[in-house]
Structure 1
Amino acid sequence: MTFLRRYILFPSRFGFYPYFWLIFLSYPIAIGFAETGIRRVLTLFFLAIFFLCYRNSYEITKLLPWSIAGQLIVCVYMMLVENYMALFIFIAWVVGSLPFTKRVRWRYLTAYYGTFTVSVIAAVMKLVAVTPHFQLTDRLDLLVLLAFAYGSPIAAMSVMRTADKSRAIQQTNERLENVIRQNERNRIAQDLHDTLGQSFSMITIKTELARKLLKIAPEKVDEQLNDVENASRDNLQLVRSIVNDLRQLNIAEVIINQNRNLQDANVTLLTINESISNSWPRQLQITLGAVIQEAITNIIRHAHADHCWLTFGQQANLLTISIRDNGKGIHTPRENSSGISGMTKRMETINGTLDVASSSEGTILTISCPKPKTNKEEELQS
């Protein structure tokens, strides 16, 4: 088993992808078995060499140049001897998808395109010699293969760049999540410093004063202890307020948390114009975030969807959020369901509305509320 993992099987981190491509080796293998004598032995031997070289070309190592060279040699043999061109597409995707530097990539592309072009010219000359009236336009299958072989490295590079961008976006989102958490910690620390810190300092001073007064003016101790008691009660209420505020998430935090739940349910979340909600007041975001959370929870539980879209809108005097899924829709109201009514009541607290449109293609939930006035707008009106 160790021998198989080290020399035959592909590294497990690549998953099923490399084995899928091996399906297309079945045709050249069939060509090899159809041959007889030494030609069968050579063809199957070269295909075995091709497999080993292809297996070792999924990573950039010291053996990679030899693996690429081995594949090119086999490709040339299969084209000129067995009239099979498609094997070049394997190496085209390898050359295009590996994370080379620009200089190294051009070397491999030059080697690939040069070898392929020379092989094509030689194969065409061979066909012309055998078939005097041969015209390339009569063989549309060859033209399609030529297009694939020439275009595959470019397509592979495009796929690689897209994957890199997606990975970069995911990493950026993770960094933003950490930034949000850190900002929240800083806000909590600042609140505690500005409020509880000052109040506890006052309690300490009052306690020390009461201890001194106990000896020189006992009648004034009760007043100081009353101040300490009142301050302790105020601090307790303040702590409860801070904890309650921490439990309430803004829109960005809700989306981060709910996206994890959607991923667990195999639902893809896409947002449009999400950044405009960052400037909305925190208390408004808390209310809208609670509605978004309830809506997404309903999608996970009942919609049977695989995609969910959040679209944010902002007009002169109106803020809107559209929550859409591609699930089965809402056909009949569920008994004892408080989801829609609960979201409607939340929206009423900010003078907002909630509209639901549903069909067999999914459900669209639209929430809207008046845009809060800024301090400058309030001053101008007053």
Structure 2
Amino acid sequence: MTLLEVVGVSKSFAPGTSAVDAVSLTLERGEVLCLLGPSGCGKTTLLRIISGLERADAGQVRFDGRDMAGVPPHERSFGMMFQDFALFPHKNVRDNVAFGLRMRRLPAAEIDARVAEMLAAVDLDGFGGREIGQLSGGEQQRVALARALAPGPQLLMLDEPLGALDRALRERLMLDVRVILKRVGMTAIYVTHDQAEAFAVSDRMAVMNAGRIEQLDRPEAVHAQPATPFVARFLGFENLLPARVAAAGEVETAVGRFRPAGEPLPFGATGLLLIKPVLAGIEAAGAADKGAINQVAGVVEAVTFRGRFSQLWLAAGGERLLFEEQDSLPFAPGDRVRVTVGAEQLQMFVDGS
């Protein structure tokens, strides 16, 4: 069931520039949607418009069928969680979680029961009497989440909630956040610039650029089939080459000829060819080797070990390509190699489409 509808929302802070540009989306009850994109793409502004902290120049926000225009933030039954957690250092864990409930003047017994329920939901049973300064960064993050959930918001909005934590701790907490949100059945919008976070937390993700949504889909669909070159680059795909469709549906580039999977592309079409970094094969090559269809012959520039995989940088046709392999690669800078890629690892972005 659709809980939130954003229809044609726009916002500008200066003439001629749009922070949010005609954005539309829906959010289902119990769904976690990530707004993903670089700094300045409009994701936090969109979040603030939905929350009522900013007023849109155009468009409409509807929640559970009700137009939110003119409804102040404190009457929207939305919860917020920010990057800095904003916990009260002079209050213990129990009092931090209880803060919103006490503001509502609920009975003490009801507050105590709700605080205990929320601490259990975030796996902090027995932490109620601890001071905030005694907690680790991850524990503070859980307290902040429990405090945001305690009043029972119908929608929870999280703005870079793990941004202040180091990479190792973020990696551990990404899945925890999703598990907790699903455990309590919370509908949530989660803002992040980190694609790993978005993949780990979301049911669907909206990739934003210059105030617009470039792609809105399930994480696995976005990764498998980026909708635009921007989305591909933002997801970390390096190999985007100018290309032209020649006879027999072959795609010509500076590094060789390719035939992507699927229906043949229209003859003469131009655009960018995405070569995903997955290797179907790699072998030593001779100096005169030009490669066949779906192959690239070139010179190894670098091989780096990244823990769970190895990366190989290849110079070919004036381009620099990146490939990855789970096993170690027996090649060194200066070696000539021939790389084979699968047709399913190729995607053409046709100009004007």
TM-score (norm 2): 0.28
Point out the structure with the larger helix share: 1
For the pair shown, the structure with the greater C-alpha radius of gyration is: 1
Point out the structure with the larger strand share: 2
TM-score (norm 1): 0.26
> Larger RCO: Structure 1 or Structure 2 (Cα < 8 Å, ≥ 6 residues apart)?
2
